[in-house]
Amino acid sequence: MKIFLRTLLYLALIVWLGAEIFFPITAAITFGTLMPDVSAAGAIVGQLIRILHGMGLVSGAIALALLAMAPAFRIYKPRTVLAPMILLVVMIAFTAYSQFGIIPAMERDRIAAGGTIEIGEPSNPVTADFNRLHRRSEFVEEAVLVLGLATVALVARAESEKS
């Protein structure tokens, strides 16, 4: 049972962090391939980020539950799972903020701009707001990735201090 629960924990972390690592590559390829049609590329990347967030929220909840159960199954000592659990809660909160706060606001800006954000119009207030939100979403995704890597390191440390 211990091996099964640890495997599920690692899998949840791998799925989330793997998606976080490969998302920028996918977005870059999408924009590079569809460059003449920025609207189509943006729509595809928008759908992909929603999928990424869904994967993150589910994987984060699973990892959090498994870490909470780990001391009861004598997989990890109780004190060693506290820090990774806190980081997971912050990661989930950031992901939820991006999914339910930033992304809908960017969509409202896109609709207000007539369906397409023109990159070359930074003086337009709607475009400026969209760009501000886009930078914020990039920061949030980067923070989730860094916190995820720290979580992996803390789980590895907990592994070395197993009960």
pLDDT in tens, 14-68: 999 999 999 999 988 888 888 778 788 888 889 999 999 999 999 999 999 999 9
Cα 41 to Cα 10, 54, 55, 144, 163: the distances in Å are 32, 20, 21, 24, 50
pTM: 0.91
Least confident of 67-71, 95-99, 125-129, 134-138: 125-129
pLDDT at 55 (0 to 100)? 97
126-149: average pLDDT: 95
What is the pLDDT averaged over residues 136-152?
97
Cα of first residue to Cα of last residue in the chain, in angstroms, is 15
Is the sign of the CA dihedral 73, 75, 80, 81 positive or negative?
Answer: negative
Structure-block tokens of residue 70: 């780990």
Distance CA 104, CA 65 (A): 28
Whole-angstrom Cα distance, residue 82 to residue 97? 23
CA distance 115 to 134: 16
